[in-house]
C-alpha cells in the first residue's frame, strides 16, 4: 500500500540460482560489531536460499529498510521474492520521538480539562502537523531507499521485476 512502509516484489532472472547466490554474496558484507565500512553496498546474511540485508550508508538513519529475500529455482532461471520493511530500531525511534512530542499536547489537554477556558486547539493542531510531517518525511525516505534497492538488484541480477505484491492478501 502507498502509505505503509512495507513492500513486496518479485524479480526474475535467467541466471541460475548458484550464480544469483554468488552475485549476492559478492554484494553483501557480513555483519560486524565494529563500525568498519567495507566496499560492498549491502550488509547482512546470505543463508542458502534466504537472505536478510540492508544497504550500507555512511551515515546512520532509522529509515534504512531491511530486505528479506528468498531465491527460488525455476526453469530456465531464478525467481527472487523480496520483502522490504523498516527496521525495528527505526520503528522504535519513531514511536519514542512521537511520544516525546506528545507530552506538550497531553499537558495542554490536562490543563484544559481542569480549566476549560484555556485555549487548546493550537497545541493539538501543531502536534498533529508535526506528527504528519514526521510520518511523511520518514515514508518518503523509506520509499527512496526501497527504490534504490530495487534498481540495484535488477541491475546486479540482470533481472526484470514481475510482481509488486500489492494485490496479494494474507502473507
Give residue-wise pLDDT tens across range 22-76: 999 999 988 776 656 667 888 899 999 999 998 887 766 666 789 999 999 988 8
Tell me: the pLDDT tens digits for 63-93? 678 999 999 998 889 999 999 998 888 888 8
DSSP string spanning 30-95? Answer: EP-SS----S-SEEEEEETTEEEEEE--SS--TTPEEEEEEEEEETTEEEEEEEEEE-HHHHHHHH
Give the residues across from 68 on adjacent strands.
Answer: 52, 83
Amino acid at each position: 500500500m502507498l502509505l505503509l512502509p512495507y513492500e513486496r516484489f518479485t524479480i526474475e532472472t535467467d541466471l541460475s540460482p548458484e550464480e544469483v547466490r554468488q552475485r549476492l554474496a559478492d554484494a553483501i558484507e557480513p555483519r560486524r560489531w565494529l563500525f568498519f565500512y567495507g566496499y560492498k553496498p549491502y550488509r547482512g546474511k546470505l543463508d542458502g536460499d534466504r537472505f536478510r540485508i540492508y544497504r550500507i550508508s555512511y551515515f546512520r538513519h532509522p529509515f534504512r529498510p531491511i530486505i528479506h529475500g528468498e531465491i527460488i529455482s525455476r526453469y530456465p532461471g531464478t525467481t527472487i521474492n523480496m520483502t522490504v520493511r523498516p527496521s525495528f530500531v527505526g520503528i522504535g525511534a519513531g514511536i519514542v520521538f512521537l511520544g516525546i512530542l506528545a507530552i506538550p499536547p497531553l499537558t495542554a489537554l490536562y490543563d484544559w480539562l481542569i480549566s476549560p477556558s484555556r485555549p487548546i486547539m493550537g497545541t493539538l493542531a501543531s502536534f498533529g502537523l508535526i506528527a504528519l510531517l514526521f510520518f511523511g518525511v520518514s515514508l518518503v525516505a523509506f520509499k527512496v531507499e526501497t527504490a534504490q534497492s530495487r534498481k540495484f538488484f535488477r541491475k546486479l541480477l540482470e533481472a526484470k521485476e514481475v510482481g509488486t505484491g500489492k494485490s496479494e492478501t494474507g502473507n
